[in-house]
Every structure is written in structure tokens, then in C-alpha cells.
Structure 1
Amino acid sequence: MAKRNNEHLKISDALKEFIQTNKLEKGLDKVNVADAWTKLMGNGVNNYTTSIQLERETLYVQLSSSVLREELSYGKQKIITMLNEELGKEIIKKLVLR
């Protein structure tokens, strides 16, 4: 049985503690990265995005347009920086466009 604390705790602090205790950070990072991609890239890119996967520190994005893939490949570092800023921590170190 879990130990009960009698001190008052903010709900955000309790959730952070729960996430750390149960080692859920990696799973939440995967969801947050996909949401950040959708938010930052806009409808034009999202219409051609078929898959987004985060494995270790590499983000794999599958695109259905070879022309768009080529265009985005020129700004990979900028995309990585934007996504990391949106997430508030450095999760992505490498971006692979497929």
C-alpha cells in the first residue's frame, strides 16, 4: 500500500510525482512530440504526414510527399530547435524524414 502524506500538495506536483514514480515520462514525451509537430507544422505539412515516432532521441517522421520531404530536409536543425522549445526540454537530437 502506498504511503499517505498528510501535507497539502498541488495537483500538478502530485501528477509530476506520479509520472516520475511510475516511469511514464518516455511515453508522455512521445505523445507530446506528436502534438508539438501537429501544432508547429500546420495543416499543409500535417496533410502529408503519415507517421510520427520518437525512439530514444531521434524523431522519425514519415511523409507521403517526396517534394515536401526534400524541402523540410533543408531546415532540419531549425525544426528540431522549434520542437524542443515547444516541449520545454531537449528531447529530440536528430530528425529523420522518410
Structure 2
Amino acid sequence: MAKRLSNESSIGEVLKAFIETNKLQSGMDKIDVQAAWKSLMGNGVNSYTQEVILKGSTLYVSLTSAVLREELSYGKTKIITMINEELGKEVVKDIILR
């Protein structure tokens, strides 16, 4: 049975406990990575981005521009570092640009 929290718990503590109890962290990571991509890449890259999907520790990004895909491929390690720093933990280990 789940541990009962006191009535004086903050909403953040209650949500964290709920996420842990129901094993929802991987889904939350997927949403957080999508938001981090949008905020870090800016409007220029986002206008050419079709979808951003996190499967395991690999980030799949579908782009409509072959030129942009080639440019981003040169900075994969920097993008991985930026996203992980934005999230505060190591979620992404590889990026596949397609």
C-alpha cells in the first residue's frame, strides 16, 4: 500500500510521489525533452521540425530540411549536452536526425 502523505505536503511533493508510485517518469521525460527541444532550438529550427520522439535514451528528430539536418548532425554532442543540462539529468544519450 502506498505511503500516506500528511495534509501539509506541497503540491510538488504530492505530484512527485504520484509519478513515482505509478511509474510515469518515462512519459514525463518524453514531454520534457520535447519542450526542451522547442525552447533550445528556437523558431528557425522548430519551423523545420516535424516531430521529436524519445525512445529509451535515443532522441529521434524528424526534419523537413536536408540542409538543416546536415548542419545539426555536426553538433549532436553539443545538442545532447544542452538538452540534458536543461532537464537537469541525463535523459538523452544519442540523437538520430531524419
Which residue of the partner structure matches residue 45 of structure 1?
45
User: Aligned equivalents of 1:32 and 1:5: distance in 2?
Assistant: 26
**TM-score with structure 2 length normalisation?**
0.93
Alignment of 1:37-76 (within 5 A): 37-76=37-76
User: Aligned equivalents of 1:11 and 1:85: distance in 2?
Assistant: 25
Structure 2 segments unaligned to the other structure (5+ residues): none
Using the TM superposition, give the Cα deviation of residue 5 of structure 1 relative to its aligned residue in structure 2, in angstroms.
3.9
User: Aligned equivalents of 2:75 and 2:82: distance in 1?
Assistant: 11
User: Aligned equivalents of 1:5 and 1:45: distance in 2?
Assistant: 44
Structure 1 segments unaligned to the other structure (5+ residues): none
Using the TM superposition, give the Cα deviation of residue 10 of structure 1 relative to its aligned residue in structure 2, in angstroms.
1.7
Which residue of the partner structure matches residue 97 of structure 2?
97
Which residue of the partner structure matches residue 34 of structure 2?
34
Which residue of the partner structure matches residue 11 of structure 1?
11
**TM-score with structure 1 length normalisation?**
0.93
Alignment of 1:79-98 (within 5 A): 79-98=79-98
Runs ≥4 residues deviating over 3 A = 1-7
Indicate the SS of the match to 1:17.
helix
Indicate the SS of the match to 2:45.
helix
Provide the aligned length of Structure 1 versus Structure 2.
98
Indicate the SS of the match to 2:72.
helix
